[in-house]
Structure 1
Amino acid sequence: MWARRVVRAWCVVWAGLCVGVVLAFCPSGCKCNNHFPSATCVGVGLNVLPILFNPGLRRLNLAHNLLTSVGQSLVFFENLEELDLSNNLLHSLDTGSLENQKRLRELRLAHNNLTSLSPGALLGLQHLRLLDLSHNGMVELPAGVLVDTPHLTVLLLAHNKLHALPHHTFRGLHSLLVLDLCNNYFRDVPSLSLEHLHVLKSLQLCRNRITRLGSHAFTTPALVSLSLETNNIDFAASDAFSQLQELKQLNLNDNLLREIPRAPASLQLLIFSKNNITTIGVQDLENLGRLSKLDISRCPHLRELHPDAFSHCVSLEHLLVSHNPLLRQLPDKLFASLPRLASLDLRANSLETLRASSLPLPTLKHLDLRGNRLVCNCSLRWLPPLLAASNTSLVVPDVQCAAPDKLRGLFLSRCVALVPSVTCDHPSKNIVPNYPPKYQPGLETTTMPTAVHISAKECGEKEVPVVEV
């Protein structure tokens, strides 16, 4: 029945060609363009691949339909360059199904029910550049199945059930630049399989089950970007990244590491948030002189930063040290050795104070201190004018006092009016509202504590109400 239907359809097309007219059929709900031969049939309920399209099609989009098989339906479309069969019900790709698509450059098969690829499934695709097999149920990728795609540059295998790869899986892929293996079941880095990828630039291994990075774990010397986000990595050998001398971006977010592993000196971006680190020592970042962005946020056990922790990161421009609940203080002049620092995010730590001498204020463009436990005493005298200034390029979101009790919840920018007249002979002196003595909340004494007095009205009536006499 199927063979008879194919023969009948081919006869119709051939008859049209014989009289010099190409009969281009466009199914209901589809959009067809004969000037740049293309057809788009997205979400129109197709359960069979139409074969009466313009045989000169270069782009065919059949995404979001009910196709279960390709069969030999594509035999008529030798000029295809882009084919999208994503979000269908495909359960297999038969040997030779795409053999006539020798010009195909992009093949999208994401969001189907593929569990594996048969040998020869990609036969004929010698010009394929992009292959998207993500969001399937693939449990294996047989060795040799990719040998028919020697010019492949992007291979997307995320959201499958792969747990291992044969040694020669990627043999012959001399042009592969991007490999996405995120959201699979890998417990180890597939080092032996990767050693054939000599020009690979981007490797994504995020959201797997990797627990350790052994010696020379990565054998792809041209790698520029590596993501290991959201694994269970609790150990990294000192030479785990030693062969990645071109690496510029490393994402280790959301793992179990207790120390920052030694990274290549070429690194420009390091994301080390959500790890079990407790301290950052003077040697942890010592070889990262080219680092421009560093994220050490949401580390629940981080308590201490060495005074020279960032002293070698002379190219650092963006630094995030936020949401670390046990981080209560920062060493004096911790950031002063960063001549290019433009953005500093210190949100939601447990900082009680921050000295101006710690910051490279001439270069800073953005400083965020919100969500800390700031004690509004004379050690923060420098901050209110900065918060209220309108003639500066430095952006500083307003912050609230956490202590003393009289100033809790008060926004510091509202206390700027009297700061120029304040004299502080001791940094721990509190800046308190000027209540009439006998009406100070919680105090029965008529004597004022030794402090700098700023009126409640100047500091914001809503936060610290004035008691009328």
Structure 2
Amino acid sequence: MQMITIISIWCILASIFSPSEALANCPPGCQCDDNTLVVQCGEGQLDVLPIALNPSIQRLVIKSNKIKTIDSSIQFYAELTFLDLSSNHLMTIPQRTFAYQKKLQEVHLNHNKIGQISNKTFIGLSAVTVLNLRGNQISELHQGTFTPLLKIVELNLGENRIGFLDPKAFDGLRQLRILYLDDNALTSVPDPVIFQAMPTLAELFLGMNSLLTIQPAAFQDLKGLTRLELMGASLRNVSHDSFQGLEELRILDLSDNRLARIPSVGLSQLVRLEQLSLGQNDFQVISEGALVGLKQLKRQDLNGAVKLKRVMTRALLDNGNLEYLNLSSNKMLVEQLEGALSGLRHLRHVVKKPNALSILAEDLFPWTNRVTLYLSENPIS
């Protein structure tokens, strides 16, 4: 009965408002363009989705308003390809809300108050490639939650409260390439079974959780992963086999953790790694051959390691392709031994500000290179 009523209303509206008259029904504070089929509403007082817009619109952007739910009026806009309802007051998404949105490709519901989603929430979104749920209050993901999203490429679940992940929560996401799970309540790296459902995953964000450690072979099924972000994940330990299987990894961020030493053995398996961030950890020394095996490394960030005191001779001996080295804001770094950066023929940029360096060894750098050296705010005598 409700569906008949909705269809009747839509038919009445369609007969009253032709596309050429749709501009007259544009809500205050919104811009409605019937040529581009775009409706964009600025910050305002809208608390429900407009019901009398041109039913042919393709892009609907209503950010920073007071909308509390996505009601049945969304069904009037079956031609939508882009929907942005970020920074509203959404608390729930009724089941089958998007059942008629067969053309939607991007859905942005970030920074709302959504607390629960299920395997019926996203029914109908078979064309969606980007779903943004960042900054909500989701705490659990159950089996098959995202199964209707057959074509999804990017899924952002960062800044939620997720502490429970069913091993089959991401089943069906075989085209997923980017997954954000950062800044949640995870206490361990998700079960490897979860990653088996996403064989094409290229970028994974797990930082700002309380992982403490990375269990052996945690990422072994992510053969195509090129970027792994573990910044601020409370890591105290990385095992020798933590990064097993990540032969294609290019970017790794382990900064802002509690690592007492550089996990040299674990890192040595990342033979294609090009960018590595290890700053803001607790190690005191960068030992000789600390990054052995990383022959493709081009960028190294070791900034803000407040306990770092020494960089040993030939510390980066195996990193002959290094181009950029950041050793800034290491307040206790008082000694960098001669030859510590020897053999780095491609080194072009070195940042060492501010530290506690008082002496710069004459053969510290391969001076034949054109090296840009930043040494300000050091007590060099």
Amino acid at match of 1:276: S
Q: 1:92 aligns with which of 48, 55, 68?
A: 48
Q: 1:282 aligns with which of 226, 240, 246?
A: 240
Q: Deviations over 1:224-276 (max 9, x none)?
A: 00111211211332323221111111111111002236231211001101112
Aligned to 2:180: 227
Aligned to 1:113: 66
Q: Deviations over 1:440-460 (max 9, x none)?
A: xxxxxxxxxxxxxxxxxxx99
Aligned in 2, Cα 1:92/1:240: closer, same or farther, shift over 3 Å?
A: same
Aligned to 1:44: none
Once residues 107 and 276 of structure 1 are traced to their aligned partners in structure 2, the CA distance between those partners, rounded to angstroms, is: 40
Once residues 202 and 255 of structure 1 are traced to their aligned partners in structure 2, the CA distance between those partners, rounded to angstroms, is: 20
Ranges in structure 2 where 5+ consecutive residues have no aligned partner:
1-15, 367-374
Q: Does 1:182 align with 2:128?
A: no
Q: Does 1:198 align with 2:150?
A: yes
Task: Say whether the 8 Å CA contact 1:179–1:204 is kept in structure 2.
Answer: yes
Once residues 79 and 215 of structure 1 are traced to their aligned partners in structure 2, the CA distance between those partners, rounded to angstroms, is: 46
Aligned to 1:395: 349
Q: Deviations over 1:205-240 (max 9, x none)?
A: 111111243423322221100111211211332323
Task: Say whether the 8 Å CA contact 1:268–1:291 is kept in structure 2.
Answer: yes
Once residues 342 and 311 of structure 1 are traced to their aligned partners in structure 2, the CA distance between those partners, rounded to angstroms, is: 15
Q: 2:302 aligns with which of 346, 356, 364?
A: 346
Identity %: 23
Task: Say whether the 8 Å CA contact 1:142–1:166 is kept in structure 2.
Answer: no
What displacement does 1:194 show? 0.7
Aligned to 1:382: 339
Once residues 365 and 79 of structure 2 are traced to their aligned partners in structure 1, the CA distance between those partners, rounded to angstroms, is: 70
Question: Could you say what secondary structure the match of 1:367 adopts?
Answer: strand
What displacement does 1:137 show? 0.7
Aligned in 2, Cα 1:283/1:153: closer, same or farther, shift over 3 Å?
A: same
Amino acid at match of 1:288: L
Task: Say whether the 8 Å CA contact 1:164–1:190 is kept in structure 2.
Answer: no
Aligned in 2, Cα 1:84/1:286: closer, same or farther, shift over 3 Å?
A: same
Task: Say whether the 8 Å CA contact 1:218–1:240 is kept in structure 2.
Answer: yes
What displacement does 1:331 show? 4.6
Ranges in structure 1 where 5+ consecutive residues have no aligned partner:
1-13, 15-50, 403-408, 421-458
Q: Does 1:368 align with 2:322?
A: no
Question: Could you say what secondary structure the match of 1:193 adopts?
Answer: coil
Amino acid at match of 1:394: R
Once residues 26 and 359 of structure 2 are traced to their aligned partners in structure 1, the CA distance between those partners, rounded to angstroms, is: 56
Aligned to 2:170: 218
Aligned in 2, Cα 1:161/1:302: closer, same or farther, shift over 3 Å?
A: same
Aligned in 2, Cα 1:418/1:141: closer, same or farther, shift over 3 Å?
A: closer
1:46-57 pair list within 5 angstroms:
55=21
Q: Deviations over 1:364-385 (max 9, x none)?
A: 10112223333437xx112588
What displacement does 1:304 show? 2.7
Using the size of structure 1 for normalisation, the TM-score is: 0.66
Q: 1:140 aligns with which of 58, 79, 92?
A: 92
Q: Does 1:410 align with 2:370?
A: no
Aligned in 2, Cα 1:285/1:86: closer, same or farther, shift over 3 Å?
A: same
Aligned in 2, Cα 1:191/1:54: closer, same or farther, shift over 3 Å?
A: same
Amino acid at match of 1:304: R
The higher relative CO (CA closer than 8 Å, separation ≥ 6) is in: 2
Task: Say whether the 8 Å CA contact 2:359–2:380 is kept in structure 1.
Answer: no
Once residues 110 and 245 of structure 2 are traced to their aligned partners in structure 1, the CA distance between those partners, rounded to angstroms, is: 33
Q: 1:308 aligns with which of 261, 265, 269?
A: 265
Aligned in 2, Cα 1:417/1:141: closer, same or farther, shift over 3 Å?
A: closer
Q: 1:333 aligns with which of 269, 272, 289?
A: 289
Once residues 365 and 223 of structure 2 are traced to their aligned partners in structure 1, the CA distance between those partners, rounded to angstroms, is: 45
Q: Does 1:255 align with 2:233?
A: no
Q: Deviations over 1:175-197 (max 9, x none)?
A: 10000111111011255331111
Aligned in 2, Cα 1:348/1:127: closer, same or farther, shift over 3 Å?
A: same
1:162-181 pair list within 5 angstroms:
162-181=114-133
Aligned to 1:359: 317
Task: Say whether the 8 Å CA contact 1:307–1:332 is kept in structure 2.
Answer: no
Aligned to 2:81: 129
Aligned in 2, Cα 1:54/1:302: closer, same or farther, shift over 3 Å?
A: same
Once residues 327 and 202 of structure 1 are traced to their aligned partners in structure 2, the CA distance between those partners, rounded to angstroms, is: 35
Q: How many residues align?
A: 348
Aligned to 1:239: 193
Question: Could you say what secondary structure the match of 1:123 adopts?
Answer: helix
Using the size of structure 2 for normalisation, the TM-score is: 0.80
Aligned in 2, Cα 1:418/1:179: closer, same or farther, shift over 3 Å?
A: closer
Task: Say whether the 8 Å CA contact 2:203–2:225 is kept in structure 1.
Answer: yes
